Amino acid sequence: MSKKELFVTIVVGIVGIGVLYLGVLLVLRDLDTLAQLKKRLATQKKLQQYAEQNFEHLQNELQEFGDIMQYTPQSTSKEGVLKLLLTYDKDVRLKKLYTKKEGGVQANYYFAQMRIASPKNLYDLVDMMQKKGYLVRLEWPVRFTKKGKDIDVEFFFTIYRTGFQEKSAPQIPEEEGGF
């Protein structure tokens, strides 16, 4: 072999080794990307499994507490309560005293003054509130004062809004190193 052929062989060998080295580097880089994608896929599968379990849990909660939810009004705000009272008297005075939360139940305490035709109207009002889903308790004593044909009534009452105690909901799976 001549020097020229030897030189060409060495150059071709070096170029071949360089190309092979670059190919290996590209493959290793792709393998690293593949490993990262597999890890992300495993995390996504765990999150999807958690979401499905949580959905099942929430569906079960909805079925279990559906009967309670029908008794819970959308709003126990002063404005919502006043709107109900205004169906019995256009000159209602309503004062929200305070709100107390305990054990998954919110109690809203009110004082009302209104004019009614008979004491039965007050009890009809309480019945109507209960039919609309309000958990209402009339506090005693109720003060009735005769004013001509009508009766002025002053009373304290409480409206309860139920909450739900937490049960053991599915937990998000922990992943080493985070997401």
Strand partners, 158: 109, 137
Q: What is the pLDDT of residue 68?
A: 53
Query: How confident is the model over 101-130, as a mean pLDDT?
Result: 83
CATH of domain 78-162: 3.30.70.60
Residue-wise pLDDT for 64-115, tens only, equals: 665 555 545 555 666 777 777 777 777 788 888 888 887 777 888 889 888 8
In order, the DSSP letters of 81-118 are: HHHHHTTT-SS-EEEEEEEEEETTEEEEEEEEEEEESS
Q: What is the pLDDT of residue 154?
A: 92
Say how many C-beta atoms besides its own lie within 10 A of residue 146's C-beta: 8
For the chain, which residues make up each domain, given as ranges?
Answer: 1-67, 78-162
pLDDT value at 120 more than 70: yes
Residue-wise pLDDT for 5-40, tens only, equals: 888 888 888 888 888 887 777 777 777 788 888 898
Task: Cite the DSSP H helix spans in 116-162.
Answer: 119-131
